[in-house]
């Protein structure tokens, strides 16, 4: 129970969601829990269904202090550009991936943007869900069906711009007027999650449901900063704690409704189809929207780049990758993740590859959140057919490839006399065969599509590609020596075609791949004793070396290996 204060606070909370929706119900439960705990020191009343005005009106009232709390949807892009990032089309495939970003670094960036604009936002967002299209006249089967379609969109320029790139005619009416607008045929279609379609009974005024999952949206609980600052810290803690509890309950409620929504709407008479989303992605709307993404301030998000500022402009430009399209394999974590982030910082458009889409979405979100450009390209590089299909998609969607980092690899230490065939085959398959075929596909794309300034292929090798090893690494050493030989042969053969080929050979770096090995004290001592500089390398040190190799500053470097080994091979 809080200490009694000399002032009792009586605040209002406005939102547009129907009173019977899980969002309004959980919001009401949240307020009731806070009110009980506050025991008269604080009272929060919830007004659903737009009873306090339209969304723009409630937002304006919250800003000027006439309304203390307001739950907003996708309406903050002009106020805080970073808040549009979760709306980026096809950027996410799961709610888990979205909330990993929003509950973490991306959420911090958005809240900082809002604070700069004079708005306090509570940490934990609420779920609306992935959007699909409902229509009254024709189903959406492919991108061509958007042409001329009058569609009601959520507020904000970002959503409208997306549909304009598809040839549709977007427009806006307040959320609670949507049913009447569709019934009056002011609009032919609308975009919302399935739970919204159900709660507004849009199946009564729409015939078709086309499953697209084209973007995600959620809700943010905003507070007038003066009203928030007036609350005693104990009451602020009550609000934040209960907001987290009920946000997570609401997420589970809405996720279940959305998961079952298509079947329920079909049961209620809607004609359901799954749209060809590949045709939508092929329209290259990403390029049309990238200006929205670049509105996020890179320096603010990642901090100052002091060393770069000390360079003269000519030196800075020599290390830049602006306008380059780069593919990094094994980009979900470790060195691949670090390289992808460094490429994005240097201005490249980064294509992220691994087998694990969740990891790629996390890296992509981090890059996009700080003003960069990145897209997941999930495929298994040991699957030749999948790899070739992915390169065909890159050629179609981006028109070229300038940089390939062959980073994916594996190690399974075993004594030479105990190496089993499964281990032998696995390391050769991933570290040599897949690397060879990926490099071949990358080189073909660079040559066929005229990579501007010549292409660059960077093969991830190791210091073990230059020496032997007495500690159970025979197969790994063999594969990395193969990489070094391949790099030299490719460089000679591809130089007349304008493609440089280099390798990078790090010492031991602490990554998810190597971390288990360092739990062995004897192994850790052996490694540190062999490095003249006396320490492990960092992922950023390797990533910046890769940026150099990919940049114009390394224009005369080909057929060689850059050792980032702390002196290991100098003994």
Q: Which residues are annotated as catalytic? A: 476, 480
Helices then strands (H, E): number in the chain?
A: 22, 19
Who contacts 395 (Cβ-Cβ below 8 Å, separation ≥6)?
401, 445, 448, 449
Q: At what angle do helices 285-293 and 157-165 cross, to 10 degrees?
A: 160
Tell which residue, 500, 506, 505, has the closest CA to residue 559.
500
In three-state form (DSSP H/G/I as H, E/B as E, the rest C), the secondary structure along 11-53 is: EEEECCCCCCCHHHHHHHHHHHHHHHHHCCCEEEEEECCCCCC
How many whole angstroms separate alpha carbon 287 and alpha carbon 283?
A: 9
Bridge partner list, 500: 456
Helix H or strand E segment including 271: strand 271-274
How many whole angstroms separate alpha carbon 52 and alpha carbon 58?
A: 7
For residues 206 and 270, the answer to whether their CB atoms sit within 8 Å is yes
Strand, coil or helix: what is 188?
Answer: coil
How many whole angstroms separate alpha carbon 332 and alpha carbon 338?
A: 9
The backbone torsions φ and ψ at residue 108, rounded to the nearest 5 degrees and listed phi first, read -60, -40
CA dist list (Å): 299 to 98, 240, 334: 23, 29, 23
How many whole angstroms separate alpha carbon 517 and alpha carbon 416?
A: 18
Who contacts 115 (Cβ-Cβ below 8 Å, separation ≥6)?
121, 225
């Amino acid at each position: 129970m809080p200490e009694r204060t000399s002032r009792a606070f009586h605040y209002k909370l406005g939102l547009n969601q129907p009173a019977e929706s899980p969002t309004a119900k959980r919001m009401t439960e949240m307020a009731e829990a806070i009110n009980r705990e506050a025991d008269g020191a604080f009272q929060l009343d919830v007004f659903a269904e737009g009873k306090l005005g339209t969304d723009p009106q409630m937002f304006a009232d919250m800003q000027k202090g006439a309304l203390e709390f307001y739950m907003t949807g996708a309406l903050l892009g002009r106020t805080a550009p970073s808040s549009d990032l979760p709306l980026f089309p096809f950027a996410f495939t799961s709610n888990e991936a979205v909330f990993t970003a929003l509950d973490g670094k991306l959420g911090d960036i958005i809240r900082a943007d809002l604070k700069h604009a004079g708005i306090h936002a509570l940490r934990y967002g609420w779920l609306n869900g992935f959007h699909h299209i409902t229509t009254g006249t024709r189903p959406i089967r492919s991108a061509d069906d958007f042409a001329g379609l009058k569609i009601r969109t959520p507020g904000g320029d970002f959503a409208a711009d997306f549909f304009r790139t598809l040839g549709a005619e977007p427009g806006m009416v307040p959320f609670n007027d949507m049913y009447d607008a569709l019934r009056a045929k002011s609009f032919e279609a609308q975009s919302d999650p399935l739970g919204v379609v159900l709660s507004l009974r849009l199946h009564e005024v729409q015939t078709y449901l086309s499953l697209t999952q084209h973007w995600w949206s959620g809700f943010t609980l905003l507070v007038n900063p003066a009203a928030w600052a007036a609350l005693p810290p104990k009451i602020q803690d009550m609000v934040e704690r209960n907001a987290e509890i009920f946000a997570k309950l609401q997420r589970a409620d809405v996720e279940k409704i959305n998961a079952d929504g298509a079947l329920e709407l079909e049961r209620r008479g809607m004609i359901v189809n799954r749209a060809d989303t590949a045709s939508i992605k092929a329209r290259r709307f990403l390029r049309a929207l990238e200006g929205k993404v670049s509105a996020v301030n890179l320096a603010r998000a990642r901090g100052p780049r002091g060393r770069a500022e000390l360079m003269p402009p000519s030196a800075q430009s020599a290390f830049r990758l602006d306008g380059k399209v780069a593919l990094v394999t094994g980009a979900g974590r470790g060195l691949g993740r670090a390289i992808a982030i460094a490429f994005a910082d240097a201005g490249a458009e980064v294509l992220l590859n691994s087998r694990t889409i969740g990891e790629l979405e996390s890296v992509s979100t981090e890059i996009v959140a700080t003003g960069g450009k990145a897209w997941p390209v999930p495929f298994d590089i040991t699957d030749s057919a999948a790899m070739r299909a992915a390169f065909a998609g890159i050629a179609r969607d981006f028109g070229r490839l300038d940089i390939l980092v062959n980073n994916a690899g594996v190690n399974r230490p075993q004594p030479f006399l105990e190496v089993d065939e499964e281990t032998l085959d696995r390391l050769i398959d991933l570290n040599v065969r897949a690397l060879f075929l990926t490099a071949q596909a990358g080189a073909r794309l660079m040559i066929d599509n005229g990579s501007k300034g010549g292409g660059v292929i960077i093969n991830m090798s190791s210091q073990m590609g230059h020496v032997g090893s007495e500690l159970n690494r025979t197969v790994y050493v063999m594969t990395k020596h193969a990489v070094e030989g391949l790099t030299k042969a490719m460089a000679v053969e591809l130089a007349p075609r304008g493609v440089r080929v280099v390798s990078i050979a790090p010492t031991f770096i602490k990554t998810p791949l190597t971390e288990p090995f360092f739990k062995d004290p004897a192994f850790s001592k052996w490694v540190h004793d062999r490095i003249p500089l006396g320490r492990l390398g960092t992922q950023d040190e390797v990533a910046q070396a890769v940026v150099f190799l990919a940049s114009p500053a390394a224009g005369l470097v080909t057929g060689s290996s850059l050792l980032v080994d702390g002196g290991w091979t100098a003994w």
